[in-house]
Structure 1
């Protein structure tokens, strides 16, 4: 028997992959439109909250609305069995630990601290709402997103279309990357059975900018220019023991997947 899911943000990068995998597993999925009043009138079943905004510079109020305000309304007023909120491992930036139960701090020199603040508020609302909720914290999600302005799709696109990439971080800048397919698979597994209320979803390995640039250069024969200036933030290696132990999960790795991503980009670009 299928389970009823409501995916908030189901047309976005992460949300659309979650929807695809849920439907592929035979589950019933509803993707409500923005402002749909059904959210507060009908039984939503299992809610997956994949909406979000990270543009703190240009859209601070939209960041609050997408990351927190609608979530608070759902927690207070909506009818559902369970809600899974997609947060971020960016909360571990500049910190020593990366376990789900580590203390978290806000960095005053972070120009995207509003994003972290809204994620923290949303997590706390989930955990204190008295409802059945689960928080998942994905690391930097990658996948085939040709038009995305995120770091990895942008440099692969530039390597293929321009034959050159500009790197505005230092070669040793490192962070964790997780495949969008892994995020969707684990969200589904967690929706069925969970032993904890907070989960990291990450590869468990930090990959440097130099490692990424080297493999893109090898596969596309592009040139690379490293620019002075931005050093990048520090991210500790993400602790993934909960998902590995609880679900016996094996994550994909970005360096293995980059060649496939490059081939997929080339096919899409060649088809117009």
Structure 2
């Protein structure tokens, strides 16, 4: 990575944003993490912006806040702010229903399904980034981020399972064979600044490239806590395609933590 730089982290109070602020400062970068309504976002130079503002678990009950976070504020920043680069944090959830998880693949949406509001708002934010005409504007599609200090109230499934396991009993409400891609927060913190400062593409998948089943999480949690595990009857099976990570690997020569290392990094 290049030398010290000036960063602005929007959404710096969230799980990823707060840790990114601390990580960037530990590398010697100057970091500003303004509050959401700080008007100086539109008057002072921002340097390299990493846009971490977003909603996750409650997007279905807060549709207008979701659009405000993923689209409206972003539009104002792209239109009015002065910055050297901007990295918008999107999600690999946008690949729901897609035939490929390569960054340039066509994507599928279903506006009548409320579950797609998150995807649509993230994709609208991505489209704004591409159409803004501003140089050095990029998108990072994050997989399911896990790590120490996860908040079970955020809707993170692993955080919820971990909280239950520490209380002695886990109830899983989805099929144990369901599988997703998980990436440890330390890999995310390492990769995002590289993309922001050096990325040669407009979109990157920030993921591990490994599928981890719910059954694996339950096995690891039982080994470490001795918890009892129950699975709800008729628990639905959720199938997600493996995330293509060749672009990150080829350009930055990075390798994400494997699933066994991820679970060790969560405790």
User: How does the TM-score come out when normalised to structure 2?
Assistant: 0.93
| Residues 109/221 of structure 1: CA separation in 2 closer, same or farther (3 Å cut) | farther
CA RMSD of aligned residues (A): 1.5
CA deviations over 1:239-268 (Å, ceiling 9, x no partner): 000111111101013332323423xxxxxx
Does residue 237 (structure 1) correspond to residue 242 (structure 2)? The answer is yes
Gaps of 5+ in 2: none
Of 148, 153, 157, the match for 2:152: 148
Distance 1:94 1:255, change over 3 A: farther
Rounded to whole Å, the distance in 1 between the matches of 2:33 and 2:263 is 30
Q: Which residue of 2 aligns with 1:138?
A: 142
Q: Cα distance 1:174–1:45, how it changes in 2: closer, same or farther (>3 A)? A: same
Partner of 1:207: 212
1:116 to 116, 119, 123: 119
Equivalent-residue separation in structure 2 for 1:86 and 1:113 (angstroms): 17
**CA–CA distance in structure 2, aligned partners of residues 175 and 130 of structure 1:** 34
Q: Which moved more, 1:139-148 or 1:200-209?
A: 139-148
Ranges in structure 1 where 5+ consecutive residues have no aligned partner: 263-272
Using the size of structure 1 for normalisation, the TM-score is: 0.92
Residue 110 of structure 1 and its aligned partner are, at CA, apart by 4.6
Question: How far is 1:209 from its partner?
Answer: 0.5
Aligned to 1:112, the other structure's residue is in SS state helix
Matched residues in 2 for 1:122 and 1:260: separation?
A: 31
Q: Distance in 2 between matches of 1:230 and 1:106?
A: 25
How many residues are aligned here?
Answer: 261
| Preserved contact between residue 60 and residue 117 of structure 2 (Cα < 8 Å) | no
